[in-house]
Structure 1
């Protein structure tokens, strides 16, 4: 308390004014905290309000397939709705990013922006509580610490979602060649495209869960009446992979013009293997260039130290 009071006094240049501002800040913080707790208790703990929220979200019954959201999730959704509406989020960049990262619920955008807005405030509050504990902290250093805490709180959710997107797409990209080979075998054996997708999803449900779920969703959409081309286009949109987009385009053209799906898959599989080979050769060609910096900064200094060091020591002893 004395530290914060000293900060207010140094900012205002007057001890009485700093004390008044300090008391006012404490009072305002107390009032806001009490109001937040009251709203939380009245809005989220009220069974009627919770029931209305569940009805709006479609959770009309306690079924095993529909898990009711928690009070914290409802609170985050309400905060996020102030900054991102569902209508404007359908085709937004954030919605696409969250979809590629695996967050595909209707409230994913609201939850994302709520976390990005509330986490900086929480970290700023923790930084303000830690300032009196840190010894010999000036006003500029305290402001810098608060700004760093706010920046970390703002960037961490975005970095986490981007990292999750890269990991998910990496697993899908690694599983795609096996799925493509299985599709070629199934189609050449006489199975139709929906049956092929279903069989591949069943075979890959153990080793590659993510791709199996995507293919099972495509099969469910086809069974529900959605055309095969539209279901495959939605698969390309959900995954965001160029390999899947190329396969979807070829299959859509094959279905549209009535050509053989087996020939299309076989040709695309051959081209895909060629692209994988070229990508591996490109990565191998870059190894020599990437090794320059470790050699310059790690290996060569020690080499010169061992090779030229004794000669330099002999020269220094001779001229001493």
Structure 2
């Protein structure tokens, strides 16, 4: 088959395979020099927030071990980079220790796999494809594979933020009801987590993590600060500040929660009103493109038919 190919195509094919081979060799050498055992111990020492038992976390924890082992050789040895990626993964809902190597493995696979598919398609079905077009396709696939995992991660984070923002007022109402019923804050958080599990699993998971941190001995302010950072909501940060001030000043927790809960309901109502007010502007383009031409056609088509009958 190679004898039937143009010399530039053969050179491009060999070059691509050499680049892929050198990349694999560089990854292998780097993994050998970066003390994989030390990194494995470091990752194993991170507390497993995946102990929170939810259907979503179980399904995500069922990632094939082969991908996780492959990704461990690609994990950067920088602790700051690992902590940053781990924080983003936790915000996106991936809590297991294997999520970090799996993420790096997916990033490499998303870079290399489209190139292999392009080479196979070119060698079997598109022999006459110009070299420039092939290079453009290769660059486009590399760009897509480079940014696709990060974009998907950002999409998951934004989606979970929206779910958490929708359920935050309900969480505050349930928390206020539990506090006014005489429960302590820790017991109230536990009950709220159980009640919100079906409707708002994002809040339920983060509340379970909050309870685990409190049980592990962290202070309430640190636990709520981590809770607010995981959710990424201003409302959660405001709740942390309110609880901290209430504890320092010795004010009534029930009154503070009632005021805060009313404020959360008001914000949710304002968001609903903003969506309702923006609806006419969003409907303008569909009306102009689809509905108005149909109405004009219905109005002028009979007149046009009569005029054509009269003059023809």
Give the TM-score normalised by structure 1.
0.77
Identify the residue that residue 75 of structure 2 maps to in structure 1: 80
Higher relative contact order, chain-length normalized (CA < 8 Å, sep 6+): 2
Specify the alignment match of 1:309 in structure 2.
301
Q: Among 116, 135, 140, which residue is 2:132 paired with?
A: 140
Q: Are the aligned partners of 1:85 and 1:110 in contact in 2 as well (CA < 8 Å)?
A: no
What are the Cα deviations for residues 259-317 of structure 1, in whole angstroms up to 9, with x where unaligned? 11100110011111111111111111111111111110000111111111232344455
Give the number of the structure whose alpha-carbon radius of gyration is greater. 1
Q: Which residue of 1 aligns with 2:58?
A: none
Compare 297-306 and 243-252 and name the one that shifted more: 243-252
2:78 counterpart of 1:97: no
Q: Pairwise CA RMSD of aligned residues? A: 3.6
Instruction: Tell me how far apart the structure 2 counterparts of residues 319 and 3 of structure 1 sit (CA, whole Å).
Output: 70
After TM superposition, the structure 1 = structure 2 runs for residues 1-320 of structure 1, keeping only pairs within 5 Å, are: 1-2=1-2, 5-6=5-6, 8=8, 21=11, 25=15, 28=18, 55-58=41-44, 70-81=65-76, 85-90=78-83, 92=84, 94-105=85-96, 108=99, 111-135=102-126, 136-316=128-308, 318=310
Query: How far apart are the structure 2 equivalents of 1:284 and 1:24?
Result: 58
Please identify, of 251-260 and 144-153, the stretch whose mean Cα deviation from structure 2 is larger.
144-153
Q: How far apart are the structure 1 equivalents of 2:142 and 2:250? A: 57
Shift of 1:237: 0.5
**Cα distance in 1 between the residues matched to 2:148 and 2:21:** 29
Counterpart contact for 2:89–2:99, Cα < 8 Å: yes
Q: Where do 5+ consecutive residues of structure 2 fail to align?
A: 52-60
Q: Secondary structure at the match of 1:103?
A: coil
Note the C-alpha offset of 1:199.
2.1
Counterpart contact for 1:232–1:248, Cα < 8 Å? yes
Partners of 1:212 and 1:290 in 2: CA distance: 34
* Offset of residue 185 of structure 1: 0.9
Q: How many residues align?
A: 294
Equivalent pair of 1:73/1:111 in contact (CA under 8 Å): yes
